[in-house]
């Protein structure tokens, strides 16, 4: 019998918890990052029914060789109450997607979706500081992105969501993070912005729509789409045809994974940008 090299009795565990779970990419991507950094560790998928969430997590959090958890749909909000301590962005967003134990054995949680977006821009040598941002979508992902950007000191964030109340709530949260930012609610606009960000589901999978009406975007605007599949959404196709720089959802995911693994390695010390 051959043996395998990638799991042994000494392997440290990380898990992504969601329902359903088959579609997640963290097992491959986070495990690759952990292994690249020299850890004998694996991130496994854990499929938990919502009704079982509390009971299963109470058990998992006692596993001695489990060092970190990632939460995905539909658990990012309910996971908030599991953490003994929360990072600033987790409190402001009202959700977490990663949790690890600090040196005292306490579980600390934070949210990295938005940080992944900021990191993706940083890898293109682009900073949010002083920039004018148009953010489409103020749901789970949009809220996390809005809060993460607010910590970077942009000059303005204009927010659109099909549910206006969500846009208003996010604008209010952003103002509380940094009152110097002009945080306003408005329709999607490609004029007078430096960065155009889509965090809405419009354009996902087989949805052929773009979240903007314009068929042309000023070429100096950098366009980002949080959607991972398809890689090039209708919005990104319009941006590319317009000569804009584009940043893909996959880049946000990579940025986020690097930051989450940093967080795991540092026992919950956040290394925001």
CB closer to a copy of itself, 2 vs 213? 2
CB of 177 vs a copy of itself, minimal distance in Å: 30
**CA-CA distances (angstroms) from residue 50 to 24, 75, 111, 113?**
17, 8, 20, 22
Give the footprint of a copy of itself on residues 6-45 (CB under 8 A): 6-11, 13, 16, 19, 21-29, 31-33, 35-36, 42-45
User: Based on the number of CB atoms within 10 Å of its own CB, is 215 exposed (0-12), middle (13-18) or buried (19 or more)?
Assistant: exposed
CB closer to a copy of itself, 33 vs 169? 33
Give the footprint of a copy of itself on residues 45-104 (CB under 8 A): 45-49, 52, 55-60, 62-66
CB-based contact 175:143 (threshold 8 Å)? no
The CA distance from 212 to 271, in Å, is 34
CB closer to a copy of itself, 53 vs 121? 53
CB of 7 vs a copy of itself, minimal distance in Å: 4
Give the footprint of a copy of itself on residues 239-268 (CB under 8 A): 254, 257
The CA distance from 85 to 91, in Å, is 10
Closest CA to 143 of 114, 178, 103: 114
CB of 39 vs a copy of itself, minimal distance in Å: 13
User: Based on the number of CB atoms within 10 Å of its own CB, is 71 exposed (0-12), middle (13-18) or buried (19 or more)?
Assistant: buried
All residues at 6 or more sequence positions from 192 whose CB lies less than 8 Å from its CB, including other chains: 132
Per CB under 8 A, does 194 bind a copy of itself?
no
Chain residues binding a copy of itself by CB under 8 A are: 1-11, 13, 16, 19, 21-29, 31-33, 35-36, 42-49, 52, 55-60, 62-66, 254, 257
């Amino acid at each position: 019998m051959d043996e395998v090299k990638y799991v042994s009795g000494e392997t440290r565990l990380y898990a992504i918890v969601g329902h359903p779970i088959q579609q997640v990419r963290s097992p491959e991507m986070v495990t690759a990052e952990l292994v690249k950094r020299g850890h004998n560790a694996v991130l496994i998928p854990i499929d938990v029914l919502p009704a079982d969430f509390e009971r299963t997590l109470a058990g998992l959090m006692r596993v001695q060789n489990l060092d970190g958890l990632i939460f995905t749909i539909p658990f990012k909000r309910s996971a908030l109450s599991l953490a003994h301590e929360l990072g600033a962005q987790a409190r402001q967003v009202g959700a977490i997607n990663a949790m690890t134990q600090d040196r005292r054995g306490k579980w600390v949680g934070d949210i990295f979706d938005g940080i992944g977006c900021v990191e993706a821009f940083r890898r293109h040598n682009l900073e949010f500081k002083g920039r004018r941002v148009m953010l489409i979508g103020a749901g789970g992902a949009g809220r996390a992105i809005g809060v993460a950007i607010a910590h970077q000191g942009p000059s303005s964030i204009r927010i659109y969501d099909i549910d206006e109340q969500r846009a208003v709530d996010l604008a209010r949260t952003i103002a509380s993070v940094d009152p110097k930012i002009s945080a306003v609610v408005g329709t999607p606009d490609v004029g007078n912005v430096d960065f155009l960000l889509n965090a809405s589901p419009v354009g996902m999978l087989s949805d052929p729509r773009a979240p903007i009406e314009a068929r042309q975007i000023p070429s100096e605007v950098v366009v980002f789409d949080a959607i991972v599949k398809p890689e090039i959404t209708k919005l990104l196709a319009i941006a590319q045809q317009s000569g804009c720089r584009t940043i893909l959802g996959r880049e946000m995911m990579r940025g986020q994974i690097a930051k989450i693994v940093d967080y795991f390695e540092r026992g919950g010390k956040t290394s925001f940008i």
